[in-house]
Amino acid sequence: MALDGAVTLDEAMLDWVLDIRSPELTTVFTVITHTGGGVANFVVALIAVMLLLRASRPADALLVGGAVATGWPVMTAMKNLIDRARPAEPDRLMDLATWSFPSGHAMMSAVIATTLAVVAIRTWPRGDRRRTAAIVGLGAYTVLVGSSRVYLAAHWSTDVVAGWILGVAWALSWVWLLTWIQGRRGRR
């Protein structure tokens, strides 16, 4: 029964997106979707890792780099295990050969956003506007990337929501793991 409800939600969201589509919005969402793709994720993570290493913050560099590097194969394995079809053409505005669930763009943008938000929290004290701006900006980024995938019908809405949840969970599992390791080292 839950699956029937999810399919109904997905179809309703797709119908709504088709109703609001315009050439201008399609251009905007196409640009946004490319900022959350595999190459863009790699570049953002690489730049963040290099800057963090330059700032003598190897644990934060490992957090960002490790979460992104391991998140991609986890997401790919899940897609291949679940093998959910994407929305059909001509509604889908992109030619894609991979499976739909979970949304890789949503998951990986959430991994990057979450790890960088943790870095911002560690960098600036509570109440600092830079900290707030970074967290809000990173959250808005991943919401826009995921929304672009639904708008372009590259994914069902539930693929995107699952991608966000899995991305945040994956990033936080890295935070937990590195905190646990540092705690064990501190007790020696």
**Residues 9, 178: Cα–Cα separation, whole Å:** 38
pLDDT at residue 2 above 60?
no
Q: What angle, 0 to 180 degrees and rounded to 10, lies between the N-to-C axes of helices 104-123 and 38-54?
A: 20
pLDDT, position 1? 40
Predicted TM-score of the model (pTM): 0.87
pLDDT, position 182? 80
**Residues 31, 187: Cα–Cα separation, whole Å:** 48
pLDDT per position as a tens digit, 158-182: 999 999 999 999 999 999 998 888 8
pLDDT at residue 3 above 60?
no
pLDDT per position as a tens digit, 50-102: 999 999 999 999 999 999 999 999 999 999 998 888 888 877 767 787 888 99
Burial-class residue 90 by CB neighbours within 10 Å (0-12, 13-18, 19+): exposed
